[in-house]
Homo-oligomer: A and B are copies of this chain.
Amino acid sequence: MNLRELAQHLGLSKTTVSRALNGFSEVNEETRLRVQEAARRFNYTPNISAKRLATGESGAFGVVLPGASSEMADPVFGEFLAGLADGAGRCGRDLYVNATFDGEEAGYRRLARAKAVDVMILANLKVEDLRIRLLSHLGLQAVTCGRTAGSLVYPHLDIDHEDGVRRAVDLLTGLGHRAIALVSGPADLSASEQRMVGWHTALDRRGLTAEAGLFMAGPATEDHGYRATRTLLALPTAPTAFLCASMFLASGCCRAIGDCGLKIGRDVSVIAHDDGLATVRPEAFEPALTTTFSSIRSAGGRVAELAAALVGGADPADLSEVWPVDLIFRDSAQAPPRG
């Protein structure tokens, strides 16, 4: 059942039927109801490709997965994607996932030229992220999850990583900790940099120094969390508290602490950032982990909404948000043992 057939059935023109279904005001209300009723009865859904061709809008958002890298192996990104797809659905859009085998840049170029998507979604922003410039150069709009320090203005949603770490450090220093390690994700990520800034400023404010040796960047895996923690605990001035940038890092961190014969809470404190993945819940740790929390899935959903607003003609300057982070106190953060 297509538009022409539906119009014939109703004894109307394609024009009127199309307008009736798309909510134009010139259509008689009675006619509109008749049309809507018929559309429902005949199970009519406009052909997406035709609609896109006619409107010039693709009705889809794009995400490029760098094929070679293992970004998707990252469950946090997966969860973000789920939120994104969910939000896109709510806005009546679809999500185009493109994993290019010929390099990320080629993927963007292809999508742009083929007018396959209305907006590109970028996540895991780097400190210096070339993709933003590339896209604006290609004439593709973009919405990002995360933000860079530069002066470029683009719609984005970000978590206040800096503040989250700051508050976590405040909590720990308040409990009496003086040597606080930061077990971080990849150093080139903007989020990692923001966390480092928060760590520095919070320690500075207390008159403590952020020892460079207590900052350990690396992949956000259990493995790196374990190794980093082992390394840190072997230092002559081992830290009494650990901030982990993800739950996976925290898993490894906790395992390392256990392997060293220490007890979390009593001997060493741990605070992790929790993105809200169902598979790694802080309550499942022993003891339950104190966390900074922000749902990455919700963030994905909101990014989709921002993208929809952008397509709808909203001013890009109005489409940026920074979400606060919750600090949730559980048992893994306690006062340090008396030295």
Contact = CB atoms under 8 A, between A and B. Distances in A.
A114 B77 contact: no
Contacts of A101: 86, 89-90
A49 B52 contact: yes
A276 to B, nearest CB: 9
Contacts of A74: 75, 78, 279
A279 B99 contact: no
A330 interface: no
Contact of A115 (B49, B77, B100): B49
Nearest to A106: B89
Interface in A78-101: 78-79, 81-82, 85-86, 88-90, 94-101
A174 interface: no
Interface string A188-232: 000000000000000000000000000000001111001000000
A109 to B, nearest CB: 8
B94 A97 contact: yes
A200 B47 CA distance: 50
Contacts of A297: 73
B65 A279 contact: no
Contact of A45 (B77, B94, B113): B113
A98 to B, nearest CB: 6
A114 to B, nearest CB: 4
A278 interface: yes
Contact of A65 (B82, B116, B226, B277): B82
A25 interface: no
- Copies of this protein chain in the complex: 2
B277 A73 contact: yes
B284 A226 contact: yes
A226 B279 CA distance: 12
A44 B98 CA distance: 19
Contact of A94 (B72, B116, B248, B279): B116
A97 to B, nearest CB: 4
Contact of A73 (B79, B110, B222): B79
A84 to B, nearest CB: 8
Interface in A286-339: 286, 297
A151 interface: no
A78 B72 contact: yes
B96 A100 contact: no
Contact of A89 (B67, B115, B281): B67
Contact of A49 (B49, B72, B248, B281): B49
A226 B255 CA distance: 14
A78 B73 contact: yes
Shortest 10 CB-CB contacts between residues of A and residues of B: A78-B78, A72-B82, A85-B99, A75-B75, A45-B113, A49-B52, A73-B278, A86-B99, A223-B284, A49-B53
